[in-house]
Structure 1
Amino acid sequence: MCDCGGVRSSESGTDTGTDTDTDTDIGTDTGTGTTNGVETGEDYRDAVLSGQRWEGRRFVRCDFTDADLRELTTSGCTFDHCDFTRTDLGESVHRSSAFRTCTFDRTMLGDVSWTGCSLLGSVFVHCGLRTVTLTDCDLTLVSLTDAVLRGTDLSGLRLREANLTGTDLRRANLREADLTGARLAGTTLTDADLRGARLDAPALAAADMSGTRVDVDTAVLFAAAHGLVVN
């Protein structure tokens, strides 16, 4: 277990963590410990770190399983390939931070706020997400299979190539969202708002769109996906 008593900052503290390209040097480092302000392979399992404020910290392949991070505040932090299984992140606030290719399995996410963050390639399994707030975030390649997001505001988010298979998006606000390449097989979009959203025709054909609100362009795509010819 590493020393969790203090808050360790990176030397520069200027990395916003919102770039979707994973740092090459970090990705090839297989050791553990802290080098150049980057914490690699550290064990934070069962650590109590609630209410802390972290700025500019960088974590690679760190294990936060069962850790108490309730009311944590991060700014400009980066988490690459980190494990948040059963972690308590309730009421935490994250600004301009990146959680790239991270695992959120049965993670407590009640009232979590992400603003200007990247969740590129992260996987969410059996997490309560309906009270999560996402503003100006990048969810490219995120996996939300079978997630319940009824009534959630996802407007304007980037969800390119996201796995939304079986996801419950009834009454969700997806206005202006970028769903290009997203997988929507078995996705429920009943009464959702897709006006201004970017989607692919095959994805529309695979989803349940009963009562979905769409604009004219999406309606034409939907018709084409079901073999209709619009003149």
Structure 2
Amino acid sequence: MDIIEADEDYGDAVLAGQRWEGRSFLRCDFTDADLRGLVTSGCTFTECKFDRTDLGDSSHTATAFRSCRFDRAVLASAVFRSCTLLGSVFVDCGLRTVVLEETDLTLAGLSGAVLRKASLRGLRLREANFEGADLRDADLRDADLTGARLRECRFAGADLRGARLSADGLVAGNLRGARIDLPTAVAFAAAHGLQVD
């Protein structure tokens, strides 16, 4: 039976360079903790706080961060592989150098996030909040943006070929200068009230 650490306070803890495997955390507070170089595998974090936490150069494989909060967290060169960040919220985090591979960001809060030139190819981004986000020059090929909130989101130079977007997203997002494929162009035209024959 898995041991769950619940409501623990790891604030200001120095846990840099540790390796965690199969650990579960519920409502734990990692505010101002030093987690640089942390390596996790098969861990679960549920409703945890990572406010001003240093997760730089950390690596996470098959780890779940569910409904967690990352407020001004340091994520420079952090790697997430086959992870889920379901419902997690990112506020004023530097995300440009984060590596996300086969990771689920469904319902994630990324409003105002700077993801310019980020590689988000093939990621599940369903119903994520990207309002006001900077996705210029980002690689979003084959990404699933169904139901994502894209109001005032900038896509200039972004590659959206094969991406799935809802009609609302095609209207709300600023797609000027984005690279799209023919099916998306047809969907874009239809979403804007044009009749495509």
TM (normalized to structure 2)? 0.99
Question: How far apart in 1 are the matches of 2:24 and 2:171?
Answer: 41
The letter for the 1-side match of 2:151 is: A
Please state how far the C-alpha of 1:152 moved relative to its aligned partner: 0.2
The residue number in structure 1 matching 2:93 is 127
Alpha-carbon deviations, 1:31-90, whole Å to 9, x = none? xxxxx5100000100000000000000000000000000000000000000000000000
The residue number in structure 2 matching 1:222 is 188
Unpaired runs of 5+ in structure 2? none
Question: How far apart in 2 are the matches of 1:209 and 1:118?
Answer: 27
**Percent identity of equivalent pairs:** 62
The residue number in structure 2 matching 1:57 is 23
The letter for the 2-side match of 1:48 is: V
The residue number in structure 2 matching 1:92 is 58
3-state secondary structure, aligned to 1:79: strand
Higher Rg: 1
Question: How far apart in 2 are the matches of 1:125 and 1:43?
Answer: 21
Map residues 1-231 of structure 1 onto 2, 5 A cutoff.
36-231=2-197
Please state how far the C-alpha of 1:226 moved relative to its aligned partner: 1.4
Please state how far the C-alpha of 1:191 moved relative to its aligned partner: 1.0
3-state secondary structure, aligned to 2:100: strand
Question: How far apart in 2 are the matches of 1:192 and 1:183?
Answer: 17
Question: How far apart in 2 are the matches of 1:202 and 1:44?
Answer: 41
Question: How far apart in 1 are the matches of 2:191 and 2:168?
Answer: 6
Alpha-carbon deviations, 1:99-127, whole Å to 9, x = none? 00000000000000000000000000000
Question: How far apart in 2 are the matches of 1:126 and 1:212?
Answer: 25
Please state how far the C-alpha of 1:177 moved relative to its aligned partner: 0.3
Question: How far apart in 2 are the matches of 1:117 and 1:207?
Answer: 27
Please state how far the C-alpha of 1:227 moved relative to its aligned partner: 1.3
Unpaired runs of 5+ in structure 1? 1-10, 12-35
3-state secondary structure, aligned to 2:144: coil
Please state how far the C-alpha of 1:171 moved relative to its aligned partner: 0.4
Please state how far the C-alpha of 1:202 moved relative to its aligned partner: 1.6
Alpha-carbon deviations, 1:144-167, whole Å to 9, x = none? 000000000000000000000000
